[in-house]
């Protein structure tokens, strides 16, 4: 049986209710985190909660504490009978009147959902988006915002062009990330990933690889990808080998694919 956890209560999805005046619905005013559970335990929960709290500071939005989310995840996974799962935590501003300025004392809406899922390794063809750019100077580039329209537009563009994802350039024409993943590129200088200052989201999987010194930060141009030994897209749920960029076939370094996958599967 399927359940969701909404504002402290487990309920069936068809009876869960979010107000039509909720600013998460009307304005995309809120944040989210996508997490993985293994054996009934949420992986890297402190990291996810730290990023959520940082986003809350930027938006002036109250977010739940780690203990609340841990309790909610335990209840939800048990109710759904899931050990290995993908959890989506959404925190919306809550109800508010018309207009852009948030109410002074809004009560956030907190929703946690769970679906069966495990970490996956795949292959993908990508294009460089011609429609969307990442504004590395915007505070929104640091957030996982409920307003995901730029990513949606870029993903639709990729579909039209026969690809499964799109890479987003920043305002300087350098590569920032994809619509849902951080970028890893194997060069003669090692495996590189764009810095957060380039418009890349501070991804959890990305941070783990940086801490293990498997990856280091450096700005990257589209030409760097075309001449690379391997290119990957990574997030908390998957590692994807990029097989082609804008129709041009890319190399794959199988040894590095295995090394990256092993590091992500065994990270604690």
Bridge partners of residue 231, in order along the sequence: 185
Identify the three-state secondary structure at position 107. Answer: coil
pLDDT at 1: 58
Neighbours of 213 (CB within 10 A): 8
Say which DSSP state 227 is in: T
Whole-angstrom Cα distance, residue 121 to residue 203? 17
Cα dihedral 212/213/219/225 (nearest 10): -90
CA proximity to 65, closest of 85, 43, 46:
46
Alpha-carbon Rg for the chain in angstroms:
19
Contact 191, 167 (CB under 8 A): no
239 beta partners: 121, 234
> How many other C-beta atoms are found inside a 10 Å radius of the C-beta of residue 125?
18
Neighbours of 35 (CB within 10 A): 23
Angle of the 45-59 helix axis to the 204-211 helix axis, nearest 10: 120
For the chain, which domains are there? 4-116 (3.30.470.10), 120-265 (3.20.10.10)
Express each pLDDT in 10-34 by its tens digit.
Answer: 999 999 999 999 999 999 999 999 9
How does pLDDT run along the chain (268 residues), one tens digit per residue? 599 999 999 999 999 999 999 999 999 999 999 999 999 999 999 999 999 999 999 999 999 999 999 999 999 999 999 999 999 999 999 999 999 999 988 999 999 999 999 999 999 999 999 999 999 999 999 999 999 999 999 999 999 999 999 999 999 999 999 999 999 999 999 999 999 999 999 999 999 999 999 999 999 999 999 999 999 999 999 999 999 999 999 999 999 999 999 999 998 7
Q: Two tokens at 2?
A: 């399927």
């Amino acid at each position: 049986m399927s359940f969701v956890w909404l504002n402290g209560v487990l309920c069936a999805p068809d009876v869960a209710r979010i107000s039509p005046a909720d600013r998460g619905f009307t304005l995309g005013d809120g944040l989210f985190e996508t997490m993985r559970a293994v054996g009934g335990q949420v992986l890297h929960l402190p990291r996810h909660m730290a990023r959520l709290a940082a986003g809350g500071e930027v938006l002036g939005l109250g977010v739940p504490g780690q203990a609340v989310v841990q309790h909610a995840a335990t209840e939800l996974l048990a109710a759904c009978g899931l050990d290995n799962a993908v959890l989506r935590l959404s925190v919306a501003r809550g109800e508010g009147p018309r207009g852009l300025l948030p109410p002074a004392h809004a009560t956030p809406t907190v929703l946690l959902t769970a679906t069966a899922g495990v970490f996956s390794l795949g292959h993908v063809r990508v294009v460089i988006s011609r429609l969307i750019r990442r504004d590395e100077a915007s505070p929104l580039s640091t957030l996982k915002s409920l307003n995901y329209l730029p990513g949606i537009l870029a993903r639709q563009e990729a579909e039209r062009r026969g690809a499964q994802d799109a890479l987003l350039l920043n305002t300087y024409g350098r590569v920032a990330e994809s619509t849902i993943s951080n970028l890893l590129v194997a060069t003669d200088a090692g495996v590189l990933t764009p810095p957060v200052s380039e418009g890349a989201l501070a991804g959890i999987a990305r941070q783990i690889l940086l801490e293990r010194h498997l990856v280091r930060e450096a700005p990257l141009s589209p030409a760097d990808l075309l001449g690379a030994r391997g290119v990957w897209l990574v997030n908390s749920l998957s590692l994807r080998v990029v097989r082609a960029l804008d129709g041009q076939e890319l190399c794959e370094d199988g040894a590095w694919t295995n090394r990256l996958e092993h590091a992500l599967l065994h990270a604690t």
